[in-house]
């Protein structure tokens, strides 16, 4: 049963679909997908082409917009939009510490989670597309990890696409996770240096907090263990358009005076827990490195291993000297499954995934080289999350792909830039610019 309702300027319809858990076994177990259809109020009864939105992540449900926010306003001028909660996310059948034990032990849970990568997400899209569009191809908008899914779409089912738009999400076609993180840590260091150049007072603030954490390692109200490494991972904010400012405001009010001396304030701890907890998106931590896995090699906690090659990120060594503390970025580590109570029961499952070697290839270079789908991609010049060099190499490998390389936006440009980013990319797919 579908339910329709209204918000300012739009008509929304909620959809639930049943798809195979494993598309190689179509008569086996099934899962449910949730998706929200959005159409402009004055076009609700028109026969419009469809755009499906693939959210970044992995592990996040689609945006919960109110009305015509951000890029959606531009999309609704031309399309009926489907905001898809990818499998395991949002209101789709969940995969988390509460549900995964139904699968059995860590090995069985890892086998289950191996079905939550881009290949399965694209097959989900193809399973639901004919019933929505009447069989017509649709346009896909892929943000970040959604762009990874889009490139897999072009590799595996281009007949389902009338056009493809990617924002901050052109993956390397052949890089191992180690290559991804070797390219990432220097970019992260540049972002941290830029933050301290903007807010030089934060150098001492960050050092003071880190010194406190090394001595006390507090347990936050929700059970999160705030280690210095976890604190450093707040650098993930620096990849967003307003992230440097958010980090600054967080650091400036960290301490409060108590009868026992200075301590981290309740307000600081509450905000930090909200930023660091994976309770709302555990798939991000579980399959994050797996989105890069192919070619028979394990990821083997790549971000952790590669970090050791960059000793400047070692907080204890930094604090022994007088240098600035370096924050880190978009990475998952073994200690993530110790500090976060939402992930602790899944530590052994994460180990199984890190050791796995039977990952199928995600991209087909020959098919991409023969691509006929109009494709446009925004490549952000110093994107902290996705290496621009990797993205541009992939762009050259996809026939007909047009890029817009810009340093006007960070990784979240399609959100922060409102309709402008999507408008330009759609124009590129139509040869209008």
- pLDDT, tens digit (0-9, with 9 covering 90-100), for 278-333: 999 999 999 999 999 998 899 999 999 999 999 999 999 999 999 999 999 899 99
Q: Is the pLDDT confidence value at 366 over 90?
A: yes
| Architecture of the domain defined by 3-174+363-429 | 3-Layer(aba) Sandwich (3.40)
**Mean pLDDT over all residues of the chain?**
97
**Quick one: DSSP state of residue 93?**
S
As a whole number of angstroms, the distance between CA 214 and CA 273 comes to 17
Q: Is the pLDDT confidence value at 256 over 90?
A: yes
Q: How confident is the model at residue 418 (pLDDT cuts 50, 70, 90)?
A: confident
Tell me: the pLDDT tens digits for 11-62?
Answer: 999 999 999 999 999 999 999 999 999 999 999 999 999 999 999 999 999 9
Q: Is the pLDDT confidence value at 85 over 80?
A: yes
Residue 154 backbone zone (phi > 0: left; psi -120 to 50: alpha; other: beta): alpha
Render 61-81 in DSSP notation, one character per residue. PPP---SS-TTHHHHTTT-EE
Question: Do strands 30-40 and 10-20 pair parallel, antiparallel, or not at all (unpaired)?
Answer: antiparallel
In this prediction, what percent of the chain has a pLDDT beyond 90? 97
C-alpha angle 252/256/259, rounded to 5°? 165
Q: Which two tokens stand for residue 120?
A: 């399965």
Q: Is the pLDDT confidence value at 383 over 70?
A: yes
| Contact predicate 37/15, CB 8 Å | yes
- Residues 385-397, mean pLDDT to the nearest whole number: 97
Q: Which two tokens stand for residue 246?
A: 């958010």
As a whole number of angstroms, the distance between CA 87 and CA 32 comes to 8
Q: Is the pLDDT confidence value at 433 over 90?
A: no
Q: In this structure, which long-range contacts are made by residues 252-260, counting pairs with CB atoms below 8 Å and at least 24 apart in sequence? A: 252/201, 252/202, 252/205, 254/205, 254/208, 254/209, 255/208, 255/209, 255/212
- Residues 264-277, mean pLDDT to the nearest whole number: 96
- Residues 333-344, mean pLDDT to the nearest whole number: 98
SS3 110: helix
In terms of Cα–Cα distance, which of 51, 122, 111, 126 is closest to 363? 122
Q: How confident is the model at residue 2 (pLDDT cuts 50, 70, 90)?
A: confident
As a whole number of angstroms, the distance between CA 140 and CA 61 comes to 16
Tell me: the pLDDT tens digits for 212-232?
Answer: 999 998 999 889 999 999 999
Q: How confident is the model at residue 3 (pLDDT cuts 50, 70, 90)?
A: confident
- CA–CA distance from 196 to each of 40, 235, 390 (Å)? 43, 12, 27
pLDDT at 1: 65
pLDDT at 295: 85
- The strand pairing partners of 161, in sequence order, are 138
Cα atoms in the 13 Å half-sphere on the side-chain side of 148: 28
In terms of Cα–Cα distance, which of 394, 287, 284, 416 is closest to 349? 287
Active-site residue set: 144, 358, 411
In this prediction, what percent of the chain has a pLDDT beyond 70? 100
Q: Which residue has the tokens 């001396």?
A: 261
Q: Which two tokens stand for residue 278?
A: 């994976």
pLDDT at 293: 96
As a whole number of angstroms, the distance between CA 296 and CA 304 comes to 20
As a whole number of angstroms, the distance between CA 226 and CA 214 comes to 10
Q: Which two tokens stand for residue 217?
A: 């390692």
As a whole number of angstroms, the distance between CA 301 and CA 413 comes to 29
Q: Is the pLDDT confidence value at 96 over 90?
A: yes
Domain ranges of the chain: 3-174+363-429, 177-355
Render 304-369 in DSSP notation, one character per residue. HHHHTT-GGG-HHHHHHTTSPPPP--S---TTHHHH-TTTGGGHHHHHHHHH---PPP---HHHHH
């Amino acid at each position: 049963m579908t339910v329709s309702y209204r918000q300012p300027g739009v008509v929304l319809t909620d959809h639930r679909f049943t798809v195979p858990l494993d598309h190689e076994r179509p008569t086996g177990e099934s899962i449910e997908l949730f998706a929200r259809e959005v159409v402009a109020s004055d076009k609700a009864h028109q026969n419009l082409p469809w755009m499906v939105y693939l959210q970044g992540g992995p592990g996040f449900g689609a945006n919960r917009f109110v009305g015509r926010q951000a890029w959606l306003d531009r999309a609704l001028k031309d399309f009926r939009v489907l905001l898809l909660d990818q499998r395991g996310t949002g209101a789709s059948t969940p995969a988390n510490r509460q549900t995964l034990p139904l699968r059995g032990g860590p090995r069985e849970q890892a086998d289950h989670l191996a079905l939550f990568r881009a290949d399965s997400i694209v097959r989900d899209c193809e399973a639901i597309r004919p019933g929505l569009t009447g069989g017509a191809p649709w346009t896909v908008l892929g943000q970040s990890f959604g762009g990874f899914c889009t490139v897999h779409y072009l590799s595996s089912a281009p007949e389902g696409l009338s056009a493809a738009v990617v924002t901050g999400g052109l993956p390397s076609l052949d890089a191992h996770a180690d290559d991804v993180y070797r390219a990432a840590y220097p970019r992260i260091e540049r972002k941290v240096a830029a933050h301290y150049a903007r807010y030089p007072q934060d150098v001492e603030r960050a050092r003071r907090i880190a010194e406190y954490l090394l001595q006390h390692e507090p347990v936050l109200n929700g059970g999160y263990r705030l280690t210095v490494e976890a604190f450093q991972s707040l650098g993930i904010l620096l990849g967003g358009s307003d992230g440097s400012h958010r980090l600054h405001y967080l650091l400036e009010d960290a301490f409060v005076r108590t009868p026992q001396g200075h301590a981290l304030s309740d307000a600081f701890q509450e905000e930090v827990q909200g930023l660091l907890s994976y309770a709302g998106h555990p798939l991000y931590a579980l399959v994050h490195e797996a989105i890069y896995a192919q070619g028979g090699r394990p990821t083997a906690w790549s971000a952790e291993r590669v970090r050791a090659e960059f000793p400047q990120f070692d907080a204890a060594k930094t604090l022994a000297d007088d240098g600035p503390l370096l924050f880190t970025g978009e990475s998952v580590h073994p200690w993530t499954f110790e500090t976060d109570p939402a992930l602790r029961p899944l530590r052994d499952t994460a180990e199984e995934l890190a050791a796995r070697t039977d990952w199928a290839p995600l991209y087909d270079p020959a098919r991409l080289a023969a691509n006929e789908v109009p494709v446009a991609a925004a490549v952000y010049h110093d994107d902290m999350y996705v290496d621009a060099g990797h993205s541009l190499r992939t762009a050259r490998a996809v026939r007909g792909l047009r890029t817009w390389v810009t340093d006007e936006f960070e990784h979240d440009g399609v959100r922060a830039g409102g309709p402008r980013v999507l408008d330009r990319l759609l124009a590129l797919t139509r040869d209008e610019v």
